[in-house]
C-alpha cells in the first residue's frame, strides 16, 4: 500500500538521519502525525533554528551562536593546552565531564585515504595557523577515536606539530571502566597493556 504523499515525504525525511531505517522512519512519521500541532510546530522551528542560527567558531570550529564560541572567549580556561577532537559531539562529551579546562580544536573529520579525505579536507590548516599565532599554547592533546582513521590522523598531527617544539600527547585508550577483560578485542587489550599506569 502506498502512503499519502505527505506521509511518504516525512518517512523519506526521517530515513536521511543516521541509523534510521525504513521501519523506524515510518514509526517516527506516524508518531509525528499523532503529536499535538503546537509540539510539531515547535519541533519544526527547532530544526530550522538549529540550521539557521548556528555557525562554526572561527577559532576552534565548535558549533556556536556567537563567534568566538563561549569556550574560546573564556579567558579563565587554560590557554596553554589544546585538545583536538574529530567532531563537535566529541568536544561536548569531554566538556560534560567537567574535568578538562583547556581549549579545543575540532577537525570535522579524520584522514581517510579510502574515502578520499586528506589533510586539506579537514580543519588542520586552521589548527597550524592558530598554533603559530598563539605562543602560549605548549601542548596539543590528540583526542581522535581509537580506530584506523583516528590513529592515522593522530600520527599525522604528531609528525606535523612536534618539530615546532610542542608537546603532543594522545588520550589514553584501553579497557573501559566496568568491562570484562575476556570480552575486550585484541587491539583494546594491546592498548591497555601499552598504556598501563603504576598503582
Q: Do 157 and 121 share a domain, yes or no? A: yes
Q: Do 126 and 97 share a domain, yes or no? A: yes
Q: Do 37 and 130 share a domain, yes or no? A: no
Q: Do 35 and 123 share a domain, yes or no? A: no
For residue 112, give Cα distances in angstroms to 31, 89, 115, 120, 122. 38, 19, 5, 12, 10
Q: Do 99 and 32 share a domain, yes or no? A: no
Q: Do 30 and 80 share a domain, yes or no? A: no
Q: Do 163 and 124 share a domain, yes or no? A: yes
In a domain, 100, yes or no: yes
Q: Do 38 and 63 share a domain, yes or no? A: no
Alpha carbons 47 and 182: distance in angstroms, whole number: 43
CATH of the domain at 155: 3.40.1360.10
- Quote the radius of gyration of the chain (alpha carbons, Å): 21
Residue 184: what pLDDT? 79
Number of domains comprising the chain: 2
Q: Do 71 and 149 share a domain, yes or no? A: yes
Residue 36: domain span: 5-53
Note whether 55 and 64 are within 8 A (CB).
yes
Contacts of 45 (CB under 8 A, 6+ apart): none
In a domain, 95, yes or no: yes
In a domain, 196, yes or no: no
Residue 199: what pLDDT? 64
CATH of the domain at 38: 1.10.8.420
Alpha carbons 92 and 45: distance in angstroms, whole number: 23
Q: What predicted TM-score, i.e. pTM, was given to this entire model? A: 0.84
Q: Do 83 and 126 share a domain, yes or no? A: yes
- For the chain, 199 residues long, give each residue's pLDDT as a single digit of tens: 699 999 999 999 999 999 999 999 999 999 999 999 999 999 999 999 999 999 999 999 999 999 999 999 999 999 999 999 999 999 999 999 999 999 999 999 999 988 899 999 999 999 999 999 999 999 999 999 988 899 999 999 999 999 989 999 998 888 777 878 788 788 778 877 877 767 6
In a domain, 84, yes or no: yes
- 3-state DSSP assignment of residue 82: strand
Amino acid at each position: 500500500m502506498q502512503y499519502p504523499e505527505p506521509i511518504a515525504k516525512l518517512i523519506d525525511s526521517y530515513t536521511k538521519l543516521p541509523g534510521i531505517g525504513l521501519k523506524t522512519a515510518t514509526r517516527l512519521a506516524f508518531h509525528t502525525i499523532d503529536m499535538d500541532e503546537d509540539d510539531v510546530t515547535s519541533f519544526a522551528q527547532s530544526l530550522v533554528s538549529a540550521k539557521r542560527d548556528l555557525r562554526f567558531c572561527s577559532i576552534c570550529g565548535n558549533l556556536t551562536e556567537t563567534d568566538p564560541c563561549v569556550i574560546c572567549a573564556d579567558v579563565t580556561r587554560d590557554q596553554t593546552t589544546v585538545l583536538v577532537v574529530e567532531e563537535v559531539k566529541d568536544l561536548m562529551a569531554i566538556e560534560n565531564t567537567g574535568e578538562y579546562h583547556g581549549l579545543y580544536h575540532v577537525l570535522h573529520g579524520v584522514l581517510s585515504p579510502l574515502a578520499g579525505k586528506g589533510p586539506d579536507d579537514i580543519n588542520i590548516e586552521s589548527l597550524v595557523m592558530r598554533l603559530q599565532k598563539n605562543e602560549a599554547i605548549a601542548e596539543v592533546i590528540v583526542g581522535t577515536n581509537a580506530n584506523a582513521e583516528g590513529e592515522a590522523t593522530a600520527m599525522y598531527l604528531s609528525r606535523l606539530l612536534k618539530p615546532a617544539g610542542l608537546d603532543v600527547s594522545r588520550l589514553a585508550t584501553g579497557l573501559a571502566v566496568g568491562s570484562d577483560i575476556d570480552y575486550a578485542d585484541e587491539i583494546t587489550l594491546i592498548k591497555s597493556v601499552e598504556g598501563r599506569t603504576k598503582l
